[in-house]
Chain A
């Protein structure tokens, strides 16, 4: 995959390294001249110095053949315009913006730009870890609308030995897989959960909290 990353500083450096490690071709667009030479020395990504919201700079960075543009500057307006230029001018298949103000996630979505809010993501992860240490492998999917997590049923699980149908699970949450000792099963409504089971929970973001509560505390 060919990715163009727009941003600054160490966050951009580590993003670039992460993409490079997965063997993606990476081009960085950096506004500050000194920083762009620092990045060119530090990483093996191609570095273009310029304003990523300028169509000529995007073109120099190879936007015409890019599969992904990630706009990760500290300025929400810049990130929006970068993504819109990438999509409208160069038909880049996927343009993703980071938003600093979490309120802008919905705003960007309304304007047709996929957005990720790092502060929201970190806050919800930390919140989930703080409230329940039995959750592992938490993965956001579907643009942050879906959460997939692995939960171990502990002593506080109140529905042990009772069928899943009796849990009162929210409609848009699903126990996809139950792992019990060496066994892995896809449960049905009459499957009985036991303490010590590890379950794979797939839930829409708004129901994830309630589903977790049922699995860890019994609600």
Chain B
């Protein structure tokens, strides 16, 4: 099988972490960030992909990063709207097979789910996780409280 080509938009904590992980798993990874200094988060040992400095809301930047041949695109900048826009553009204009967006605002997540973008909302994920832990603690504690 061909090596998957992965485009990651935003090289913050989440973006760089994913980039390091996927690159270490032999994916071809390209990371886009507006700020060149953000690439310092990429690991010297595990990351062997490419870095593109630019604003992902500009189609020319996406093309330069190889969006046309991407198998997977993940948006992980700190701006919800930018994450959603790039995800929509990737899915609907460039027909990238798998597209995922990090979205902070749960209300916005719903809208984009309806528009066909797969989203991960850290707030909801954390809330569910805490809720699981709570119910497990309540279960094993036999209602000690």
Point out the residues of chain A lying under 8 angstroms from B111, CB to CB: 55, 84-85, 88-89
0/1 string, B51-90, CB within 8 A of A gives 1: 0000001111000000000000000000111101110110
Point out the residues of chain A lying under 8 angstroms from B85, CB to CB: 76-77, 80-81
The answer on a CB contact under 8 Å between B59 and A107 is yes
Q: Is B37 an interface residue (CB 8 A)?
A: no
The answer on a CB contact under 8 Å between B79 and A77 is yes
0/1 string, B109-122, CB within 8 A of A gives 1: 00100110000000
The answer on a CB contact under 8 Å between B59 and A101 is yes
Report the Cα distance A73→B93, complex, angstroms. 23
| Interface class of chain A by DSSP | helix
Q: Is B107 an interface residue (CB 8 A)?
A: yes
User: A111 is contacted by which of B80, B88, B108 (Cβ under 8 Å)?
Assistant: B88
A11 → chain B closest CB, angstroms: 19
Number of A-B pairs whose CB atoms are under 8 Å? 57
Point out the residues of chain B lying under 8 angstroms from A84, CB to CB: 111, 115
B90 → chain A closest CB, angstroms: 11
Point out the residues of chain A lying under 8 angstroms from B81, CB to CB: 53, 75, 77-78, 80-81
How many residues of chain A get a CB closer than 8 Å to chain B's CBs? Answer: 20
Q: A110-B92, A111-B92 are in contact. Are A104 and B114 (CB under 8 A)?
A: no
Q: Is A190 an interface residue (CB 8 A)?
A: no
Point out the residues of chain B lying under 8 angstroms from A166, CB to CB: none
- Range for the number of chain B residues in contact with chain A: 20 to 34
* CB interface residues, A 23-70, toward B, < 8 Å: 53-56
* CB interface residues, B 102-135, toward A, < 8 Å: 105, 107-108, 111, 114-115
Point out the residues of chain B lying under 8 angstroms from A107, CB to CB: 59, 89, 93
Q: A77-B82, A88-B111 are in contact. Are A104 and B57 (CB under 8 A)?
A: yes
- Nearest to A109 among chain B residues (CB) is B93
Q: Is A133 an interface residue (CB 8 A)?
A: no
Point out the residues of chain A lying under 8 angstroms from B60, CB to CB: 101, 103
Provide a sorted-by-A list of 21 A–B residue pairs whose CB atoms are within 8 angstroms.
Answer: A55-B108, A75-B81, A77-B79, A77-B81, A77-B82, A77-B84, A80-B85, A80-B88, A81-B81, A84-B111, A84-B115, A101-B57, A101-B58, A101-B59, A103-B58, A103-B59, A104-B57, A104-B59, A110-B92, A111-B92, A111-B93
Q: A107-B89, A110-B92, A111-B93 are in contact. List 6 more A-B contacts (CB 8 A).
A: A55-B107, A55-B111, A56-B107, A75-B57, A88-B114, A101-B58
